[in-house]
Amino acid sequence: MTVLGLMSGTSFDGLDLCCVSFNKEASLYSYKLLGAHTHGYTNEFVQRLSNAHLMKESELADLEDEFDLIVLQAIREFLEGIALPIDLISSHGHTVFHRPDQGITRQIGNGKRYYSQFKIPVVFNFRSYDVALGGQGAPLVPIGDALLFNTYDVCLNLGGISNISYSLEGERRAFDIGMFNTPINDLVQRLDLAYDQGGKIAESGKPIPELLDTLNSLSFFARTAPKSLGKEWYHETFFPLISRHQAPIENLVNTVTEHNVIQICKVLHRLLTLTKQNTLRVLVTGGGAHNTYAMRRMRALVSENIRLEIPEKQLIDYKEALIFAFMGYLRSQNKINVYSSVTGASRDSCAGTLILDEVEQNFNVK
């Protein structure tokens, strides 16, 4: 099956489109990445997306209309460029609310519109059913880590939020570690930059000990998994601690980067102990993998038993979109695509709304 995966994440760097062919022989899944592209957002739209958690329902409906027009244009241009038949469109959408403790998660992006336009089956709305089952609705990519990238002991994603996935005692486990690109991007925007390229701004600064201690002491980091983060926690708890410091931007960026690295290294060392392995092979993907300063600091803080492996650029940038394509592929076959061992839900599930031949098929549970 050839699937077009769509992903819009918390870094606000655009809509990722990833065309993937999936195959299964015996119990083994394989994939071939056929093409990938990022459809950029305008600065005005990024600002609207970043304020979505503050919007009223009517404003959110307008934002979804605007988002869907962007998605439709991106799909159209991508399909024209790749010139391959697509069997399925699988869309994560963009998360605008995520409060699983209150039973709330919401992603904008209406798959019915995509089906109406292209007459290709569509899967969307992946998170809400797991939340309804008492889960976190996140992270969701561990299904792909387990079935497509299991030659690695650990999969580490450095997006707007950092998260990790691994196997322990025969079960897949995963959780959000903390923030990563989101606060860095917000800080460097004061310098009219979209992101800290290569970590150069962080490298030019110095840590602020008081702020570093405060961030590392936040209660979220002491909580046990399953756990996940949303923009609400970031805006209400994390970023206000940074904003009240009157310090040079490069010092703030350095401090946040060091905090990110410290929390990730703590988790990796804990996993090395828990898994009782001599070495951990860690696949590092997401935009943060391009932050050479952060990666250098991470390598300096982890033991030599932990091997941080960065793949080729296309996999770094599009692994999440690839796995959402895989989740849609599994959903179309009524296979489990969300692990309760990861999310804390009452059961594994086959999540996602499937639009097929004008008929909406909702969740299946295995």
Residues 121 and 270 in one domain: no
Residues 81 and 204 in one domain: no
Question: Is residue 279, in this structure, part of any structural domain at all?
Answer: yes
Residues 67 and 164 in one domain: no
Backbone angles phi, psi at 350, to 5 degrees: -110, 95
What pLDDT does residue 360 have? 65
Question: Is residue 153, in this structure, part of any structural domain at all?
Answer: yes
Residues 127 and 171 in one domain: no
Residues 35 and 179 in one domain: no
Question: Is residue 165, in this structure, part of any structural domain at all?
Answer: yes
Residues 73 and 16 in one domain: yes
Question: Is residue 239, in this structure, part of any structural domain at all?
Answer: yes
**Residue spans of alpha helices (H) in 229-280:** 231-233, 239-243, 249-275
Residues 124 and 195 in one domain: no
**270-287 confidence digits (pLDDT tens):** 999 999 999 999 999 999
Q: Given the DSSP bridges, would you call strands 306-309 and 280-285 parallel, antiparallel or unpaired?
A: parallel
**Residue spans of alpha helices (H) in 126-170:** 128-132, 142-148
Please state at what angle helix 209-216 crosses helix 249-275, rounded to 10 degrees. 40
What pLDDT does residue 357 have? 72
What pLDDT does residue 365 have? 45
What domain count does the chain have?
A: 2
What pLDDT does residue 132 have? 95
Question: Is residue 85, in this structure, part of any structural domain at all?
Answer: yes
Question: Is residue 366, in this structure, part of any structural domain at all?
Answer: no
Q: CATH number, domain at 311?
A: 3.30.420.40
Residues 70 and 96 in one domain: yes
**Any bridge partners for residue 172, and if so which?**
167
Q: Within 10 A of 273 (CB to CB), how many other CB atoms are there? A: 8
What pLDDT does residue 10 have? 82
Residues 167 and 200 in one domain: yes
Residues 241 and 186 in one domain: yes
What pLDDT does residue 366 have? 41
Residues 281 and 154 in one domain: yes
Residues 119 and 255 in one domain: no
Give the residue ranges of the chain where pLDDT is below 50. 363, 365-366
- Domain with 74, as residue range(s), is 2-136+321-361
How far, CA to CA in Å, does 168 sit from each of 154, 165, 272, 285?
Answer: 10, 10, 11, 21
Task: Identify the domain boundary among 278, 296, 315.
Answer: 315
